[in-house]
Amino acid sequence: MKKYEIWMAKVKFEDTQGMKERPVMIWNDQYYLIAYKMTSTDRGDNQDEYQVKYWKEAGLSKPTSIRIRKVLKLEKNDLIRKLGELDRRERLSFEFRLIP
């Protein structure tokens, strides 16, 4: 796993014991796996989300955004399959959204 890769992963619900398969974007895996939750739900102009411009090139099946405030701590066995990676043309734009 590398930074900016997009994987389908088993993600636990925040308020119950269940889990759901959903895309995540890998941020690092130095000590444990850190990823950002992603969603296809359109929340309008939300400052806490980064709308992926090149979602098809990233291996996603529909328009998706990265939920900047939804950082996940995952284990490697939570990952199911690699979908693709964030397009090089938008990586810097995403990182600028992280700056408070």
Position 13 scores a pLDDT of 84
| pLDDT number for residue 16 | 82
Tell me how far apart the alpha carbons of residues 99 and 79 are, in angstroms, rounded to a whole number: 27
pLDDT score at 98: 86
Encode pLDDT of 46-99 as tens digits. Answer: 788 999 999 999 999 999 999 998 899 999 999 999 999 999 999 999 998 888
Q: In angstroms, how far is the first alpha carbon of the chain from the final one?
A: 27
| Domain region containing 30 | 5-98
Q: pTM for the full model?
A: 0.87
CATH code assigned at 84: 2.30.30.110
Cα 24 from Cα 26, distance rounded (Å): 6
> Are the C-beta atoms of 91 and 98 separated by less than 8 Å?
no
pLDDT given at position 58: 96
Q: Exposed/middle/buried for 67, CB within 10 Å: 0-12, 13-18, 19+?
A: buried
**5 contacts: CB under 8 Å, gap ≥ 6:** 25, 26, 82, 84, 85
- Number of domains comprising the chain: 1
